Amino acid sequence: MSDGPVRDDGMTAQRLGEITDELLASYDHDLPERVTLPNQAKVVAVIDECRRLLFPGYYAEEPLPESSCRFKVGTWLCELYSDLTQLIWRAFAHEDPRRDTDDVMAEARRIAADFVACLPHIRMALKLDAQAALDGDPAAGSLEEVILTYPGFEAITVHRIAHWLYDAEVPYIPRAMAEHAHMRTGIDLHPGARIGQRFFIDHGTGVVIGETTEIGDDVKIYQGVTLGALSVHRRFAGAKRHPTLEDGVVIYAGATVLGGETVIGRNAVIGGNVWLTASVPPDTTVIESEPTLDYHRRPGK
């Protein structure tokens, strides 16, 4: 029996060429050549740059000594402005390749500059979110612990960045940011959702908050909560599909609230595992019926 080399016909030159031609034929040739979108690593890098500026004591790789902190923060701002401009330019250029390149770049620079100018406001909003977590969770030892370790705080940090860009009508990038936070925290928070001050997601795993959700101030929700739509049909795109939570609402674990006309009134409490498709008046508590205990012995016992 021969011990010679075994012939491998798994990928011949002919087969490789056929696959290449088939892929090329499937690409969209109706539009001019598009600018490629930035990869996810570039999006994550901008998130990290934002977090470094928002909370340098937690996310900066280097200290901020008093003698040079102004220089370093200014340098970080310039880096963020440059990198964010490139992200936004690529997003707009890819979305509409027929637009004049100079016009797209001018718009990208304007939006990036406006975003950088809003960083102090975003930081103040996040400080209130962190304080709400500390006030609302007896297990929280300090603000430092909340900022550094809480998945809910990480999710709302990314959301407040992504939502600003969403409101500026930047395509692709806000959703890419939200999905990065989703993968890291288990919290699916659409960048279109409007969220008030002092928002706290406790534990967080499995939380879903839809695009047109509106959340007031001082709202607290727990793990497994869904704020969703009654229908996901494409024809409802752009319509108010998700619920409204007024100030002071608390929603416990596993509850589901659906529908664009559903309003949970001020200071209402929604118990765990409740399913709601209708509005709830203010100062109301909604709970599931208590379970019925069956004391009958099973056969043979």
More confident site: 291 or 58: 58
The segment(s) of the chain belonging to CATH 2.160.10.10 are: 206-301
189, 206 Cβ separation under 8 angstroms: no
Predicted local confidence at residue 236, as pLDDT:
72
Q: Name the DSSP letter for residue 131.
A: H
Mean pLDDT of 133-142: 96
Mean of pLDDT values over 12-28? 87
Instruction: Quote the pLDDT of residue 5.
Output: 58
The CATH homologous superfamily of the domain defined by 206-301: Hexapeptide repeat proteins (2.160.10.10)
Distance CA 184, CA 186 (A): 6
What's the pLDDT at 299? 62
pLDDT digits (tens, 9 = 90+) for 78-103: 999 999 999 999 999 999 988 999 99
Q: Which two tokens stand for residue 27?
A: 């690409």
pLDDT digits (tens, 9 = 90+) for 190-215: 999 999 999 999 999 999 999 999 99
Q: What are phi and psi of 29, to 5 degrees?
A: -105, 5
Closest C-alpha to 88, from 61, 69, 64, 107: 107
Which residue intervals of the chain bear CATH 1.10.3130.10? 31-185
66 — alpha (psi -120 to 50), left (phi > 0) or beta? alpha
Quick: pLDDT tens for 247-282. Answer: 999 999 999 999 999 999 999 999 999 999 999 999
Please state whether the predicted TM-score (pTM) of the whole model is above 0.75: yes
Q: Homologous superfamily of 31-185 in CATH?
A: serine acetyltransferase, domain 1 (1.10.3130.10)
